[in-house]
Amino acid sequence: MPVASEIGGLDVTADSPVNLPLADELAGVFARMSRVLLSQETVNTSLTLICELAQSTLPDSSGAGVTLVDERGDRTTATSSDELVERADTLQYDLDEGPCLTAWAQRSVVRIDDMAHEQRWPLWARAVQPMGIQSTLSAPLVAGDVALGAMKVYGREPGVYDARSERVLSLFAAQAAILVANAQSLERARRLSDQLKEALRSRDMISTAKGVIVAREGVDEETAFARLVSLSQRDGKKLREVAESVVRAAVRRRR
């Protein structure tokens, strides 16, 4: 039996016998879907709020932040409560070690009770102690089967985090992961919509250029298209660029 669902006000039926919509219809679908998702500005504001709530809920925290890791492995601090968090995060990225990166890589909560006795990330631990960071707690941002980054809080005293703190931060991290996943879905929808629109523009321009050649030289559409391809290969240009040149030349002749 077909399975029906609704996404962003659209009725979607799995295993439908109808053909797939045309490219321009697909562009419209993705544009409509993108509007129901969170904007990037809303996501950034919400992530900042989540960090502030985490810091206040874990009152011995001196700062909180969210690290995101993209498909290429690039690490960035998406939001932070203050400069201390950004400096500590940057040290993790530069040294390629630290609890936040480990929480992301291993998809597990990571806690440091006393930085002075930390042996897992010795370079980073020694570097942040002069900054007044004596303890830290990191929880991964996981959406589905994808690890997006990690959320962390930093404490100025040893031993400020416990098992309850781990559960609390994990809840905040789960909410942050939903927001980040929505933002990334929005960006993918926008990119695909732009690609579809570009494909439509290229298709229309090539069709127009074929019509010019057919009318000018009295050949069929297949031959006209072959002429465009030959010009593209000869001049080392994209097919759309050649088509635009043909159409522009035809417009100039008409004038």
Average pLDDT over residues 221-241: 86
Average pLDDT over residues 91-117: 95
Is the model's pLDDT at 29 over the cut of 50? Answer: no
Q: How far apart are CA 181 and CA 3, in angstroms?
A: 25
Is the model's pLDDT at 10 over the cut of 70? Answer: no
In percent, the amount of the chain with pLDDT more than 90 equals 35
What's the pLDDT score for residue 7?
A: 30
What's the pLDDT score for residue 198?
A: 72
What's the pLDDT score for residue 41?
A: 57
Q: Which of 83, 82, 68, 57 is nearest to 161 (CA)?
A: 57
Domain 40-187 has CATH 3.60.15.10: no
Is the model's pLDDT at 218 over the cut of 80? Answer: yes
The mean of the pLDDT values for the chain is: 79
Average pLDDT over residues 189-196: 64
Q: How many CB atoms lie within 10 A of CB 187?
A: 13
Would you list the domain boundaries of the chain? 40-187, 193-254
Is the model's pLDDT at 185 over the cut of 70? Answer: no
Q: How far apart are CA 77 and CA 48, in angstroms?
A: 11
Sorting pLDDT into bands at 50, 70 and 90, what band is 1?
very low
What's the pLDDT score for residue 161?
A: 96
Q: Which of 134, 131, 171, 132 is nearest to 151 (CA)?
A: 171
What's the pLDDT score for residue 195?
A: 63
Sorting pLDDT into bands at 50, 70 and 90, what band is 8?
very low
Sorting pLDDT into bands at 50, 70 and 90, what band is 154?
very high
Q: How far apart are CA 107 and CA 102, in angstroms?
A: 8
Q: How far apart are CA 16 and CA 1, in angstroms?
A: 10
Evaluate whether 40-187 and 193-254 have a shared fold.
no
What's the pLDDT score for residue 133?
A: 95
Q: Which of 133, 71, 73 is nearest to 99 (CA)?
A: 133
Q: In 3-state terms, what secondary structure has residue 248?
A: helix
What's the pLDDT score for residue 52?
A: 85
**Tokens in use for 197?**
């629109």
What's the pLDDT score for residue 230?
A: 86
CATH number, span 193-254: 1.10.10.10
Of residues 165 and 38, more confidence is placed in 165
Q: Which of 194, 188, 173 is nearest to 37 (CA)?
A: 188
